[in-house]
Copies of this chain bind each other. A is one copy, B any other.
Amino acid sequence: MGGGEIVNTGDYEDAYRLGGLIAREGWILLNGGRASGIMEASARGAKKNGGLTIGILPGNDPAWASEYIDIPILTGIGLARNYINVLTSKVVVALPGRTGTISEISLALNIGKKVISLNFDLGPLFKNYNEEKQLIYANKPEEVIDLIKKLLKSDFDKEVGKYV
C-alpha cells in the first residue's frame, strides 16, 4: 500500500525494488491497481521480474488500471475497497502515502493483520501497535522480505503446531 502521489523520489525506487523482490519470491503482489505512485512502481517492479500482479480498483473502468496490473478487480465501491485490499493481503506493507494509505494501515491493524512500514513514520498515533509488534518498521525492501518470511514461517509453525 502507498500513495497514488509520490511523497519523495526514494519511495518510488523502494516500491519498484520491493515489487521485484516479491516477484522473485514467487509471491503475488496485490495493491490498489491505479496507474500512479507507489501502486504503479511496485506493480512495475513485480512485472519486470516475472511476477503476478493484482489490482483492487475503486472504480468500474479497466482503463484506470496500471498497465503493470495483470488482474484488475473492478470493485465499483470507491474507497470502501481499501477494506478488501487489507482483508485479502496476508501481510500488508505500507510505503509513504497520505490519507488513503493511512486508512489502509488502520483497517489492517483493526482486523489483526501485521503491517510492515517501509520508511513511513506513523508517529505517536500508532505507537502502541509498534510496541506490540503488530506494526513493524523497516528501512529497506530487502528487510521487508526478511520480515515477511519470518511472519509467514511463524503462521506456518502455529498451523503445524495444532497437529503435533
Question: Which chain A residues have a beta carbon within 8 Å of chain B's beta carbons?
Answer: 28, 54, 56, 60, 71-84, 87-88, 98-100, 102-103, 106-107, 109-111, 122-126, 129
Per DSSP, are chain A's interface residues mostly helix, strand or loop, or mixed? helix
Copies in the complex: 4
Contacts of A74 in B (CB 8 A): 84, 87-88
Verify B88–A99 contact, CB threshold 8 A: no
Chain B CB within 10 Å, residue with most, of A28, A56, A60: A60
Q: Which residue of B lies closest to A72 (CB)?
A: B88
CB distance from A94 to the nearest CB of B (A): 12
CB distance from A46 to the nearest CB of B (A): 14
Contacts of A124 in B (CB 8 A): 123-124
23 A–B contacts, CB within 8 A, in A order:
A60-B87, A60-B111, A73-B84, A73-B88, A75-B88, A76-B77, A76-B78, A76-B80, A77-B84, A80-B81, A80-B83, A98-B110, A99-B106, A99-B110, A100-B110, A102-B125, A103-B103, A103-B107, A106-B106, A122-B125, A123-B123, A123-B124, A125-B125
